[in-house]
Amino acid sequence: MTTSALVTPISLSNDLLTGAEWTPAHTLDLLQLSAEIKARPGRYASSLTGRFIALIFEKPSLRTRVTFDVGIQSMGGSVVFLDHTQASASLGARESIADVARNLDRWVHGIVARVYKQKVLEEMAASATIPVINALSDKFHPCQALADFFTLEEKFGSLRGFKLAYVGDGNNVCHSLMYLAARLGVHLRIATPHDYKPEPEVVADSKRVAKETKAKIELMTDPQEAVAGAQGVYTDAWTSMGFESEGAVRSAVFAPYQVNHELMALADPNAVFMHCLPAHRGLEVTPEVLDGPQSVVLDQSENRMYVQKAILHTLF
């Protein structure tokens, strides 16, 4: 890893599987490093020279694929793309996950994997000595959450005490937002239908860390209560990849959680709207909000690359 940067390299876990591996101080340092890389990309143009990174994708992707690919190459590294998006090429079908990881361990310097099941990442990390980065799983999306809070820090400065509302499904993005909010001192209010709450163990761990940082993690079912006075309003697709069979049921259950003009009007006048994309206009968010002046969704998308470059620079 290049050490000529202005920002001191961070000492982190060898892997990024959830975001919970990192201390509050490490999380803050990584956001600082992301800002440094965004401001002075040339200083990091050789950080990955001679490094080969395997990208393993079980799910379709636009932002994750492009930002990792471009980010790695812009730092002098090389990408080996392994497409497992077809049923015939399902990861673990031809040979075990452990064998895949052990073989890659001999050829490349790291693995970035976008998978259906979190346990696949855990098995890879247990079987390989090289870093494994979670580029999305059914339980967590740490790269996205880091980019989200980096975007908020750019626009609002210090995040301690920042009021963020999340409205919708207690899914992988929600889980990662909780882990990172707890580490950054953010006040996060989460409104979900009763049967779609985030997982209890994620809530418990987030609240444990929140005691240290003075963050607040609050769960509720009323979206209006969550959004009232919020400085940021976040939503995600009601039906994540892998849950398509539940689409009709979810559309009915989540209808009261749509982020529209009326709901945004309850937030702080200077509040921003956030979405990890892809978005479904007319479902979880209306076009007037998604494409409106309060929306920072494209900033989030752009910042994925800088945060991921910071992760790569740190772990490799």
Q: Give helix 24-39 / helix 200-213 axis angle, nearest 10°.
A: 80
Q: How far apart are CA 48 and CA 26, in angstroms?
A: 21
- Catalytic annotation, pick one of 63, 65, 109, 114: 114
Cβ atoms of residues 77 and 51 within 8 Å = yes
Tell me the residue ranges of DSSP E strands in the chain: 52-57, 78-83, 110-114, 132-134, 163-167, 187-191, 216-220, 232-235, 272-275
CA 228, CA 157: separation in Å to the nearest integer?
Answer: 21
Of 63, 276, 300, 308, which residue is the catalytic one?
276
Q: Cα–Cα distances in Å, from 169 out to 33, 153, 155, 184, 210?
A: 31, 24, 26, 22, 22
Cα gap 216→218, rounded to integer Å? 6
From 144, 231, 258, 308, the catalytic residue: 144
**Catalytic choice (187, 304, 308, 313):** 304
Q: Report the amino acid identity of residue 49.
A: T
Catalytic residue list contains 304: yes
144 is catalytic: yes
Told to judge if 84 belongs to the known catalytic residues of this protein, a careful annotator would answer no
Q: Is 236 a catalytic residue?
A: yes
Is there a cis peptide before residue 278, judged by omega within 30 degrees of 0?
yes
* Residue 83 is a catalytic residue: no
Directed axis angle between helix 63-74 and helix 297-315, to 10°? Answer: 50
Q: Which of 236, 258, 275, 313 is catalytic?
A: 236
Question: Which one from 63, 65, 141, 250 is the annotated catalytic residue?
Answer: 141
Query: Cα separation of 50 and 73, whole Å?
Result: 11
276 is catalytic: yes
Q: Which residues are catalytic?
A: 114, 141, 144, 236, 276, 304
